[in-house]
Each structure stands twice: as C-alpha cells, then as structure tokens.
Amino acid sequence: MKPEILEQLKQLIGKEHVQSSSASRLVYSYDATPGYQSMPDAIAVPGSTEEVAAIVKMCNENRVPIIPRGSGTNLCGGTCPTSGGLVLLFTRMKSILEIDEENLTATVQPGVITKSLIDAVEERGLFYPPDPSSMKISTIGGNINENSGGLRGLKYGVTKDYVLGLEVVLPNGSIIKTGGKLAKDVAGYDLTKLMVGSEGTLGIVTEATLKLIPIPESKQTMLAVFDSMERAAEAVSSIIAHHIIPATLEFMDKPTIKAVENFAKVGLPLNAEAVLLIEQDGEEAAVSKDMKKMQVICQERGAISVEAAKTPLQAENLRTARRTALSALARLKPTTILEDATVPRSKVAEMVHAINETALRFNLTICTFGHAGDGNLHPTCLTDARDKEEMERVELAFEAIFEKAVSLGGTITGEHGVGEMKAPYLEWKVGSAGIEIMRAVKQTFDSNNIMNPNKIFGKDTRKRLVVKS
C-alpha cells in the first residue's frame, strides 16, 4: 500500500483508527481456517456508514482490496487477506440501534456480537433464532456475510430468514437501503437476500434490520444414545416422517462424543456410537407431546437410552457440549479442518457412511457431528498442516466427500460459505453456467474486483488445502 493511501486513510477516519504495524497486520492475517494466512497492508476501523463509504470510494479509485471482517470465526478462509489490502473492522460500529417491540424488529450495526443481540431481545420476551456455534464471539455483520446457520436452523431457518433490510455501501461508494421493517416487500430485485451470504464480495453491510419472533414459552431437551450411526440417522428420518420438526436435532459420532466429554465433562456416554441432541420448544403441552413422540420413535429405532434433561442447567450443558465440538476436537491435533458438506436429510445416513469409508480409505481421522435434522454435516479432519504428505490425502478425502455430497443432491457448503477454501469446488454444485452468471453479478457490483478478492470464485488449479509456505 502506497504511503499516500495510508495517509489519506488516516485523514478520512482519524489516524487512531488506522493500524499498519507488523503486530496489527499479523493479528488480522488469519481467521479460523487453517492454511490461508496472508498479511494485509493495513487495518481500518471506521465509525460510521459515511466513513465506510469514503474508505470504499478511495480504495476503489486506488484498486486497494477491502476485506470486511467480523470476528474472523468463519471456516472457509473467508476473511484472509490473500491479496493484501485493507482489513475493515466494525468494533466502532457495534450498537444495537433499536429493538422495536411493535414491529418485532431489531436494527443493529454490523459489529454487534450475535450473543449480545440474542440476550438483549430475550430480555424483552423476543427471539432471534440464528445461533451459530461461534455466537459468543461472532458478529451479526459476519453472520450476514456468511449467512450463518446454527443449531436452531431446522425449525427456525438461518440468518437470511431474519434479515428484513440492509444498509449497504456498494463498491463504488454509493449507499443503498434495501427492504425495511416490512413483512412483505417486492419493490424490485431482492438485493437484501442477494447480499446475505455474498461473503463481502458485493458490498459492505453497515446496518441491518432483523426480524424477531415471540420467544417460545417453554423448551425441553433430551439426549438419545445409539449403538450405531445408521440407527441414529433412521431415528432422524422417522421423526421428520412423523411430521415433527424439532427445534434442534443434532448428532455427534463416537470420536466427537469422546473429545467433547473430555473437554466439557457433561456426562456423555463414552461407549455410544452416536448421540442425538433433541430439543423442542413452544407451548408447554405441545412440547411435551412432541418430546414423548420423539422418545418413542428413538426407542423404536433402537436407542440404547433416551434421557430428558432434568434441569435447565443440564439442558444448557448438553447444548454447550455440542457447541464446543469444534474446540474440543481442535485440542487433539495441531490442525483441524472442519467442513460442512450438506445433503437432503433423507441422505444423512448414506453420507455419514461415505465419510467414514473415505476416512478409512485415505487413512485419516475424520470425526463427524452436525445438524442431522437439516442434513448439514460437519466432517472434521484432525491433522497436521506441517505433514505435507498427509495434507495431500486430506485434500483428496475432502474432494471425495464433496463429490459424494453433490452426487446425493447436496451441496459443498451448507452454512460456512465458499470463501477461498471451497472455491475450487463451487462449479461441482452450480455448474459452469451457474459460475458464469455469478461471476457476471460480481463484475456488475465490483468491476475493479476490490471487494474481498479471491473469495467464492477460485483459480481453477488451486488446491484448497495446500498450505502456503
């Protein structure tokens, strides 16, 4: 970055809000994804939409890449500055601007921590369902860019389902407002939904209006233990086939159970091949009825035990245990590569089976957990990025996993995003005509390719897991 650009940046937003020391640049050179570390040229912390617009305009004129970043918890290399440039932080734009109880909306800045918003609305008897596992540190802006899911996705949907309106700075520096506090709006193309999940490649979200719903009056939690993954998957299918949509329907396989139990100590059964964490919420009598039915279904499908959480604390412990799966697994080996191949829910058993076979074939440790109810699996490879030979096998194994997912009518990513990591595989899902029109959309918004370059659209030949030297 030319010194005069850095100087201009300081003039635009104040020199105390621009960082360019080696230490700062190092801090923002990586995210939660292994293998994509790369130094940015500088970091800017704007305080307002107008400052964001001024920065974007200046960067566009000077062809400086911009990488908008929440807390960097993404798992697709989505915020690694692999072309250098300017990392944009939102730590000065982190206000909950309004919780509108009449219209059931919250208006927030992008830097708000997901959990803070959830807590703030729950205090008023309202509910913001999207709950990515990283919600204690992730930001709403990051969630919007990645269209984050979570444990409550099966019943309540994902981030996109709760974004009603956005303020966005386009790459040319102009500011648009989409949607509003509106349950219905069909005035022109749906730029709101197009922006959600666009991974920072089309513009910068500077404000969001989110939909809230009334908080369910009660919730119950139970754990079903199985001695085979197939039986657990059959129970999942049977629950849905009985027309029950539980609030949560999560599973963990044996190695994940073991790692989580060692880490979280909540009393998970170490001899189980699979557990299902099942929750239902809603009106109390209806919840009890559903839980009873699901208990019977699990038992019919051969569950070893089905036990309800007896206290809210015990329920919270089970949820927390599931949420810590990645952290727990990450302690076991130097490098953890977590994917989110997703299939139609009827194909979960087949996909888990294929993942296990693939791990055997390539002699790798792959643990699997995830959102069984919506077919969103997290095969997680425990490996070591320094072992080049093993990393080649990891690469091949995930290729096989993605190929299988797509062949089952699934997708290469259910909730993590494409980022840089899965860019080489996008075409398998969307086809060459799909890639072509997506590239054209990108070009339309961002003709100079300054917005989070290298993400979504890959160079054909680049292998995702080959670690930079």
Residues 170-209 that bind its own copies (CB under 8 A): 170, 174-178, 180-191, 193-194, 196-198, 202
Q: Nearer Cβ to its own copies, position 243 or 459?
A: 243
> Would you count residue 154 as binding its own copies (CB under 8 A)?
yes
> Which residue, 10 or 177, is less far from its own copies as judged by CB?
177
Strand extents, DSSP E, 122-193 = 126-127, 163-169, 175-179
Q: What single letter denotes the amino acid at residue 461?
A: T
- Give the contact letters, 444-463, x = binds to its own copies (CB under 8 A), - = no: xx----------x-------
| 3-state SS assignment for residue 210 | strand
Residue 237 binding its own copies, by CB under 8 A: yes
Q: Which two tokens stand for residue 125?
A: 């008897």
CB of 124 to its own copies, least distance (A): 10
Selected range binding its own copies among 16-24, 27-35, 381-389, 427-435, rule: CB under 8 A: 427-435
Q: What is the DSSP letter of 377?
A: E
Pick the closest to residue 84 from 55, 41, 35, 43 (CA basis): 41
C-beta closer to its own copies: residue 82 or 376? 376
Q: Given the complex with its own copies, which of 19 and 139 has the nearer CB atom?
A: 139
Helix (H) or strand (E) holding 98: strand 96-100
Q: Which lies closer to its own copies via its Cβ, residue 23 or residue 440?
A: 440
**Identified binder of its own copies from the candidate list 119, 357, 443, 466, rule CB under 8 A:** 443
Output the CA–CA distances (angstroms, integers) from residue 42 to 20, 105, 258, 431, in the order listed.
Answer: 5, 35, 42, 36
Taking CB under 8 A as the binding criterion, the range among 57-65, 111-119, 240-248, 359-367 that sits at the site for its own copies is: 240-248
Residue 161 near residue 127, CB atoms below 8 Å: no
Please state, as a whole number, how many other Cβ atoms lie within 10 Å of the Cβ of residue 255. 18
CB 72 within 8 A of CB 79: yes
Cβ 389 to its own copies, closest distance in Å? 30
User: What is 258-308 written as a DSSP string?
Assistant: HHHHHHH-S---TT-SEEEEEEEEESHHHHHHHHHHHHHHHHHTT-SEEEE
- Least Å distance, CB 361 to its own copies, is 25
Query: 């058993």: which residue's tokens?
Result: 349
Rounded CA gap, 189 and 43, in Å? Answer: 33
Return the residues of window 321-360 that contact its own copies according to CB under 8 A. 342-346
Radius of gyration of the chain (CA): 22
Residue 49: CB minimum distance to its own copies, A: 13
424 binds its own copies (CB under 8 A): no
Q: Build a one-symbol-per-residue string for 298-327: x at contacts with its own copies by CB under 8 A, - elsewhere.
A: ------------------------------
- Contact segment (CB under 8 A) with its own copies among 24-32, 131-139, 149-157, 331-339 equals 149-157
Cα(96)–Cα(207) distance, integer angstroms: 10
Nearest distance in Å: CB 190, its own copies: 5
- By beta-carbon proximity to its own copies, the closer residue of 362 and 457 is 457
Q: Is 432 within 8 Å of 47 (Cβ atoms)?
A: no
Give the x/- contact pattern for its own copies in 12-51, rule: CB under 8 A. Answer: ----------------------------------------
| Least distance CB 251 / its own copies (angstroms) | 15
Least distance from its own copies to the Cβ atom of residue 94, Å: 24
The verdict on 416 binding its own copies (CB under 8 A) reads: yes
- Compute the distance between CA of residue 82 and CA of residue 466 in angstroms, rounded to an integer: 14
Helix, strand, coil in percent for the chain, rounding step 5: 40, 20, 40
Q: Which of 34, 40, 130, 149 binds its own copies (CB under 8 A)?
A: 149
CB of 455 to its own copies, least distance (A): 11
Q: With CB under 8 A as the rule, give the number of residues binding its own copies.
A: 92
Q: What would the x/- binding string for its own copies be over residues 119 to 148, using CB under 8 A?
A: ------xx-------------------xx-
3-state SS, residue 211: strand
> If binding is defined by CB under 8 A, does position 365 make contact with its own copies?
no
Contacts of 351 (CB under 8 A, 6+ apart): 341, 343, 375, 377, 404, 405, 408, 410
How far apart are the two ends of the chain, measured CA to CA in Å? 23
Pairing of strands 66-69, 86-89: parallel
- Look at strands 376-383 and 365-371 and give their pairing: antiparallel
412 contributes a contact to its own copies by CB under 8 A: yes
User: From residue 275 to residue 294, what is the string marking binding to its own copies with x (rule CB under 8 A)?
Assistant: -------xx-xx--x-----
Among 24, 49, 91, 103, binds its own copies (CB under 8 A): 103
Task: State which residue, 247 or 272, has the beta carbon closest to its own copies.
Answer: 247
